[in-house]
Amino acid sequence: FVAEKEALAQLGISGGNFETHGNPASLDALTDAVNSGQLRVPVETVISMEDAPAAIELSRKAKGKGKTVIRIR
């Protein structure tokens, strides 16, 4: 999914797109940004592992409004 900067600007929201490679240093930096409040991650729902296939299908159809957290314990 891609943030449309112009559409966001019309709503008074700034945003952008980024991609990170999963190495320990970049994941630590991303975790620090979330924990410090620099980066907010909208969590829409928390689901069990059993519900993951249905959630992935909804995500592929672009029906979600935030991130889905899969609880594994």
Gap between the Cα atoms of 48 and 73, Å rounded: 8
Instruction: Report how far Cα 45 is from the mean position of its chain's Cα atoms.
Output: 11
- Provide the mean pLDDT of the chain: 82
pLDDT over threshold 60, residue 21: yes
Q: Are 5 and 15 contacting, i.e. CB atoms less than 8 angstroms apart? A: yes
The highest-confidence range among 47-51, 56-60, 62-66, by mean pLDDT, is 47-51
Q: At residue 20, does pLDDT exceed 70?
A: no
- pTM summary value: 0.45
Q: Which helix (H) or strand (E) holds 48?
A: strand 43-48
pLDDT tens digits, 25-54: 988 998 899 899 998 888 888 999 899 888
How far CA 56 is from CA of 16, 41, 62, in Å, comes to 23, 18, 10
